[in-house]
Each structure stands twice: as C-alpha cells, then as structure tokens.
C-alpha cells in the first residue's frame, strides 16, 4: 500500500478519547521504503503512543531494521524485525509479511538485493518512457535512501507536473497507464520459503483489501497459501471494515492460522495511524503471535 493519505484528525481524536488505540503493531513502514519517518523516529512515535510491541515491515528491504532495533531498545519496545514482500500468484499481486526474521540472513539479503536490481532496471525504463512523453525527471533525488526506487518516488521527482505526485502516479504510472512498466516479482511460494529460511513467520497482509473486489476468492486462496506454508493472516488492519475483519478472523480460526494486527502506517498525517486498527469486539490473543516470533531461536 503506497498511497499517500489525507489527514483525518476528527476520527483520530474520537479514537483516542474512546481509548481504543491498541498497543501492538506488526505492520509499519519507514523512509527505507515509502514511509515518512526514519526507523528511530518511528520507534519514538510508537513510544509516544504507548505501543510496546512493534515490527518494522518495509517493502522488500530490511535496511532500516538495525536502526529500529537500536531505537526500540532505548524506548523499551519489544521489536521484531520484519519485511513486506511484493509477490505474485496466478498473475495477481500480493503482499506477504515476514515477521520475526533474521534480517542478516544471507539468503534473504541476496534475494532482496536481486529484486532491488530489478526495481532499478524498471526505473530506468519508466524514466525513458516519461521522457518520450516530454516529462523530465530529477534523477538526483531518486534512490537516495537505500537505492530502492519506487514508482511513487519517480512520480514525486517529475519536474513541472503542476499536479500532485498521487494524481500523476494514477494518470501515468499506474497499471495500464502510458508509462507503466511491469516488474518481475517473486512468487508467493518463494516469498513464504524465503521468510522461513530467515526464521520468520509468513503472514498474508491485508488479504481482504487486496481481494476487495473478489472477496469470494478469499477462502480458496487462504487454503492454497496455507498449503504453500503460510503461517498467519493479518486479521486486524487499519482499513478493514467490520465485515472484512470478521471474514478474515473466521478464516484464521478455520485454518488454525496465526492472527496478526497492523496499521500499515506510512505517514504522520495519513489515514492509518500507528496501532490504529479496530478489533470490532473479536477475540485477539496477541501472545500467540508474539510467542511464535520469540520462539524462533
Ligand atoms: Zn505495508
């Protein structure tokens, strides 16, 4: 999820007053992928919000994990290294979270490096296409953080566009738009295997959002992913409705999958606030996932 969101201060205040903000968040992004805050700032923010269990899950990189571990120690937060892998299954894109991984695992790092290269090659092709349409891109700002160049970053670097990067992205760089370039992605099977090699748990992120328009497919795909080794589902998610949460909760129970909870926080003034998911009165036993991550040895 890479879309920049608008502020919803009213909603936020209501939630804070109601005391429904939760203290565990296993899905957040730093500036090492497409988030706004540095890992240290992110941990500071978690501390301010009294979140005592956190996982950093940047897109296809673990480069921010070291900084987050150091900061989490300072703020007394129990921290789990993580990653959010972009992958593909039957031609459709999915996000699988790797929680509690060893972020120094050489197989994991090799694979992430390879896909970093794939993104860089794609960026060159996108920029070439944009130039063919008369757009100029400020190359000097791209890949500044860790060499990963996202489409949103390219949209932000387009000069003289007179529209916001979000709108530019939708018009020019989104799927089937004039400057869209397909990117090689790992399969869901490879992603789950890679997470297991690195000692982590594979959790399907925001499944009911990814399949929002095809919700009927969800039960079958959960079954298929479980057969591939999936460990859990992100049952509680900042953008889930009550119905979506109940569906995913039911599937986790039915298949004996771990339940995870995450905000998918990216931006300080975004819709998704840290810890800002709703339980909708459902049973969530966070110790289950916490213990499974702590036990990885
Ligand atoms: Zn995410």
pLDDT in tens, 9-20: 444 444 444 444
Residue 27 CA to ligand 1 centre (angstroms) = 6
Residue 59 CA to ligand 1 centre (angstroms) = 7
- Given a contact cutoff of 8 angstroms between Cβ atoms, the answer to whether 57 and 145 are in contact is no
- Given a contact cutoff of 8 angstroms between Cβ atoms, the answer to whether 207 and 1 are in contact is no
Encode the chain (297 residues) as per-residue pLDDT tens digits: 333 343 444 444 444 444 444 589 999 999 898 888 999 999 999 999 999 999 999 999 999 999 999 999 999 999 999 999 999 999 999 999 999 999 999 999 999 999 989 988 999 999 999 999 999 999 888 876 666 788 888 999 999 999 999 899 999 999 899 999 988 999 999 999 999 999 999 999 999 999 999 999 999 999 999 999 999 999 999 999 999 999 999 999 999 999 999 999 998 887 788 998 999 999 999 999 999 997 654
Give ion ligand 1 contacts, CB < 5 A.
84, 264
CA distances from 230 to 25, 203, 205, 233 (A): 20, 6, 11, 8
- For the whole model, what pTM was predicted? 0.84
Q: Where are the domains of the chain?
A: 9-104+188-294, 113-173
What percentage of the chain has pLDDT greater than the value 70?
Answer: 90
Residue 233 CA to ligand 1 centre (angstroms) = 13
Reduce the DSSP state of residue 173 to 3 states and report it. Answer: helix
Residue 131 CA to ligand 1 centre (angstroms) = 30
233's CB contacts (< 8 A; 6+ apart) are 203, 204, 207, 222, 248, 251, 252, 257, 258, 259, 260
Residue 84 CA to ligand 1 centre (angstroms) = 6
- Given a contact cutoff of 8 angstroms between Cβ atoms, the answer to whether 66 and 146 are in contact is no
Residue 96 CA to ligand 1 centre (angstroms) = 9
Instruction: Return the bridge partners of 54, or none.
Output: 25, 79
Give the H or E element holding residue 295: none
For the segment 94-126, what is each residue's pLDDT rounded down to a tens digit?
999 999 999 999 999 999 999 989 988 999 999
Residue 223 CA to ligand 1 centre (angstroms) = 22
Residue 134 CA to ligand 1 centre (angstroms) = 32
Residue 132 CA to ligand 1 centre (angstroms) = 32
Residue 81 CA to ligand 1 centre (angstroms) = 14
Q: Name the token pair of 180.
A: 């869209």
- Given a contact cutoff of 8 angstroms between Cβ atoms, the answer to whether 275 and 51 are in contact is yes
Residue 127 CA to ligand 1 centre (angstroms) = 25
Residue 240 CA to ligand 1 centre (angstroms) = 14
- At the second CATH level, the architecture of 9-104+188-294 is Alpha-Beta Barrel (3.20)
């Amino acid at each position: 999820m890479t879309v920049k969101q608008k502020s919803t201060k009213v909603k936020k205040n209501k939630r804070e007053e109601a005391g429904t903000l939760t203290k565990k968040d296993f899905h957040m992004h730093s500036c090492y992928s497409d988030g706004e805050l540095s890992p240290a700032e992110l941990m500071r923010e978690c501390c301010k919000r009294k979140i005592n269990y956190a996982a950093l899950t940047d897109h296809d990189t673990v480069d921010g994990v070291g900084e987050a571990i150091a900061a989490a120690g300072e703020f007394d937060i129990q921290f789990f290294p993580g990653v959010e892998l972009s992958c593909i299954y039957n031609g459709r894109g999915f996000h699988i979270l790797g929680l509690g991984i060893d972020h120094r695992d050489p197989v994991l790092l090799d694979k992430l490096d390879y896909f970093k290269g794939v993104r860089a090659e794609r960026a060159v092709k996108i920029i070439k296409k944009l130039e063919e349409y008369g757009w100029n891109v400020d190359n000097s700002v791209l890949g500044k953080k860790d060499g990963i160049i996202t489409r949103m970053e390219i949209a932000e670097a387009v000069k003289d566009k007179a529209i916001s990067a979000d709108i530019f992205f939708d018009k020019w760089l989104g799927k089937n738009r004039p400057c869209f370039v397909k990117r090689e992605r790992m399969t869901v099977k490879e992603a789950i295997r890679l997470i297991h090699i690195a000692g982590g748990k594979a959790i399907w992120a925001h499944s009911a959002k990814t399949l929002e328009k095809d919700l009927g497919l969800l039960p079958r795909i959960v079954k298929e992913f479980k057969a591939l080794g999936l460990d859990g589902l992100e049952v509680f998610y900042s953008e889930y409705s009550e119905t979506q949460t109940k569906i995913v909760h039911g599937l986790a129970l039915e298949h004996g999958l771990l339940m995870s909870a995450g905000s998918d926080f990216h931006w300080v003034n975004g819709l998704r606030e840290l810890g800002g998911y709703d339980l909708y009165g459902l049973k969530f036993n966070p110790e289950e996932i916490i213990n499974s991550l702590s036990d990885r040895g």
